[in-house]
Chains A and B, each alone.
Chain A
Amino acid sequence: MTALVLVSVTLVGIAATIVVLTHRPENQAIMLSVFGLALTVMFEVLQAPDVALSQLGVGAVVVPLMIMLTYRRVRRHAGEAESAASSQSEQPSP
């Protein structure tokens, strides 16, 4: 039991460190999901299945998904603004 706890806590530590050290937001969202899974395993090992279920749904699925969708939206927005500015400077047509 103690060995399982140690392994799961170590996994959480490693996954959390990788999340912090990942700089590109789209990669970070994926790593956040992995971190959420590691936390789920830890809660399960520590005999908190109720918390593990919430963590699995919210921490490993919904939050990374919202980050991913937000990031793609912001990037597309920036791309649109850029292309609009460049097309205006090249050819002043409507």
Chain B
Amino acid sequence: MTRGARTALFLVAAAVLGPLLWNVFHDIPAFGQIQHLYRDLAVRASLEQSTANVVSSINFDQRALDTLGEESIFVASVTGVMILLRPDSQERRYLPPASGAVLEAVRLVGYLMLPVTLVLGAETVAHGHLTPGGGFQGGVVLATGLHVLYVSGTYQALDRLRPIGSLDIGEAVGAAAFGGMGVAGMAVGGAFLFNLLPKGTLGNLFSAGTVPLLNVAVGFEIGCGMVVLLAQFLAQEITIAKKGRPE
């Protein structure tokens, strides 16, 4: 596409989209305003369900169907990456020899931080209905935390700690658990993803009904999926070479 055609396309799109955006932005409540209709409704509903973290209540109870859609998009993306980045017939896998190029200080910090990061990730998932965080954030922390092992150790160590085949199944199990709880809600309460468990006391670890369970399902799915996703990209960089070139 030439520069002129691109500019013309942009101008046409901007002429359509611009007035629409202006219209929407014009009606947005002013910044920092006290009045907020949706907030009042969401906070009330969240307190009724004994969910201390209102954001989690919206994501996993009031609008849990939206979250199911987002998780499905994530599963689809990871699957797409796995299909696109598989080694083709001209390439083969090999494991590079371990190189001791890591500074001792980096290694020390890495081995200290690895367990701390993993515990932090698990904590973020488990307390998602009480404090900021949740399945998605905790899953990302767990997955990226695992890669501290690669930064401070070797690729072999990371490779041993993440069985890609099982993690792939773990991702699917997490996604299926979310859907399964939705169907269970439909069977018991008559609505998909209905919060069917006892709500408990506001602020307790065991409260908010199905919200913590859905958090764990999402945390499992995102954690496994993110490791698989990064593994595909890392494999392209580190372990895949053209046939006959051991480098």
Identify the A interface with B (CB < 8 A): 2, 48-50, 52-54, 57-58, 61-62, 65-66, 69-70, 72-73, 80
A52 vs chain B, min Cβ distance (A): 8
Task: List chain B residues, Cβ under 8 A from A57.
Answer: 137, 140-141, 144
With contact pairs A50-B133, A53-B132, A62-B226 given, residues A73 and B236 touching in the complex (Cβ less than 8 Å) = yes
With contact pairs A61-B144, A62-B230, A80-B242 given, residues A53 and B137 touching in the complex (Cβ less than 8 Å) = yes
Task: List chain A residues, Cβ under 8 A from B144.
Answer: 57, 61-62
B190 vs chain A, min Cβ distance (A): 29
Identify the B interface with A (CB < 8 A): 32, 53, 55-56, 124, 132-134, 136-137, 140-141, 144, 226, 229-230, 233-234, 236-237, 242
B237–A50 CB distance below 8 A:
no
What total count of A-B pairs have CB within 8 Å? 47
Q: How far is the CA of A57 from the CA of B140 in the complex (A)?
A: 6
Task: List chain B residues, Cβ under 8 A from A53.
Answer: 124, 132-133, 137, 141
Query: Closest residue to B236 on the A side, CB-wise?
Result: A73
B152 vs chain A, min Cβ distance (A): 16
A69–B234 CB distance below 8 A:
yes
